[in-house]
Amino acid sequence: MTAITFYFQVHQPFRLRRYTFFDIGRNDRYFDDTENARIVRRVAQKCYLPMNALLLKLIDEHKGAFRCAFSITGSALDQFELWSPETLDSFRKLAGTGCVEFLAETEMHSLSFLRDWEEFDLQVREHQDRIEGLFGTKPTTFRNTELVCDNRVARRAEELGFSTILGEGADHLLGWRSPHFVYRPEGCERIKLLLRSYRFSDDIAFRFSNRAWGEWPLTAEKMAGWLSALPEEEVFVGLFMDYETFGEHQWADTGIFDFMRHLPGEILKNRRFRFLTPAQVSVEHDPVSRLDMAHPVSWADAERDLTAWLGNHMQRAAHDALYDMANTVREAAEAGHPEIHRAWRRLTTSDHVYYMCTKWFTDGDVHKYFSPYASPHDAFIAYMNVLDDLSRRASAVVGVARRNAEAC
């Protein structure tokens, strides 16, 4: 049999205020709570609440034969708790069905693995504990920020006790191989790698409402037919996408909810198929071979690399400045100012450097859609101003603490 594995990413960053040079040293209100509350409530009404209700109905109608998985970032959970508690309750209802797996990732959707393994470990463990506390099960599947995976990340996830990791089935990674098998990352002994089938996933997430697409309109029957045409020896199909696809990126009037309402039933008409979560696929299937991921592979843009976040000088300068102050921020927290560390953590969210992207070619419209700034340069200036102020605050606190310690 072939498993269909739906995995949905749920994320909302804490967006910054228009923080200017003149705010430095005078204002420590970095985040635009009014705008963040407005956006999370809007997306909840358009996506999270109706889609969660639909999934709950599908699980009930198919008597548990429909299953799926989620990863919900800590920054999204924070915003649900603050401004949309009904959304969090709806995810708890899904958890209660026993048909939904919740994955672990970095708490603040960070790229910490590139600069600070200590921070990476802390964020992953905190997120894992938080998911267990909210939904009752400790995650055994790991998904790194933006599906970024390489040999190092996979080994670290294995060391942290995960049995499964998700990745992108990029052509340059796989070559002639299919993404529809289970693999083992090079250098790992236990963890199993499940890859995203980007063609099928992007048909839903990006091309669904594109009337210029040769396959428009995409129907549940058509998608089920494509899946049925796959070689029978392929063991699973990873349909991984942003949850905001439903109702936010693809509006309700495109028919996206109707498509999803009918898709499980159409797929299950073929007894070859069943729905499994990533952990279930991992338990049932052994790796067919090792896969060497020498360089990070992501699910972003045509390149499937890190250039969406670190592709220009502004992004790299901002990322370096952020992690250069990590030890000072931690010391400030130990000195009795956890709010400094909490603000810094929110600044590790990868969206902040994503807004600085200057790739205006094949994926330019995507970057412009997600950014709240008029230009990448505006995003850079606002972010660096906030880092400047936070660095000064952290250094001042640490300086006082050190002087007090010397006086004793």
Residues 345 and 249 both lie in one domain: no
Beta bridge partner(s), residue 183 = 193
Domain boundary among 260, 291, 322: 291
Residues 327 and 375 both lie in one domain: yes
Per-position pLDDT tens, the chain of length 408 = 999 999 999 999 999 999 999 999 999 999 999 999 999 999 999 999 999 999 999 999 999 999 999 999 999 999 999 999 999 999 999 999 999 999 999 999 999 999 999 999 999 999 999 999 999 999 999 999 999 999 999 999 999 999 999 999 999 999 999 999 999 999 999 999 999 999 999 999 999 999 999 999 999 999 999 999 999 999 999 999 999 999 999 999 999 999 999 999 999 999 999 999 999 999 999 999 999 999 999 998 889 999 999 999 999 999 999 999 999 999 999 999 999 999 999 999 999 999 999 986 444 455 455 688 999 999 999 999 999 999 999 999 999 988 888 887
Among the options 101, 107, 146, 168, which is catalytic? 146
- Indicate whether 211 belongs to any domain: yes
Looking at residue 372, what is its pLDDT?
87
Residues 274 and 317 both lie in one domain: no
Domain boundary among 259, 291, 323: 291
- Indicate whether 355 belongs to any domain: yes
The alpha carbon of 370 is separated from its chain's Cα centroid by a whole number of angstroms, namely: 14
Looking at residue 359, what is its pLDDT?
81
pTM of the model: 0.95
Residues 280, 30: Cα–Cα separation, whole Å: 42
Domain boundary among 291, 318, 345: 291
- Indicate whether 296 belongs to any domain: no
Residues 272 and 321 both lie in one domain: no
Residues 45 and 135 both lie in one domain: yes
Residues 335 and 264 both lie in one domain: no
Looking at residue 407, what is its pLDDT?
81
- Indicate whether 298 belongs to any domain: no
| Three-state SS at 84 | coil
CB atoms within 10 A of CB 135: 20
The answer to whether the CB of 200 falls within 8 A of the CB of 223 is yes
Residues 189 and 313 both lie in one domain: no
Residues 301, 363: Cα–Cα separation, whole Å: 6
Q: Which domain holds residue 16?
A: 2-291
Query: Any catalytic annotation for residue 146?
Result: yes
Q: Which of 89, 87, 4 is nearest to 42 (CA)?
A: 87
The number of distinct structural domains making up the chain is 2
Residues 11 and 150 both lie in one domain: yes
239's tokens: 């349909």
- Indicate whether 302 belongs to any domain: no
Looking up residue 86, the CATH number of its domain turns out to be 3.20.110.20
Q: Is the peptide bond before 217 cis (omega within 30 degrees of 0)?
A: yes
Alpha-carbon distance values, 234 to 2, 172, 374 (Å) = 6, 20, 45
Residues 236 and 372 both lie in one domain: no
Looking at residue 363, what is its pLDDT?
44
Residues 285 and 324 both lie in one domain: no
- Indicate whether 89 belongs to any domain: yes
Burial class (CB in 10 A: 0-12, 13-18, 19+), 22: exposed
CB atoms within 10 A of CB 106: 27
Residues 206 and 353 both lie in one domain: no
- Indicate whether 300 belongs to any domain: no
Residues 216 and 328 both lie in one domain: no
Looking at residue 224, what is its pLDDT?
98
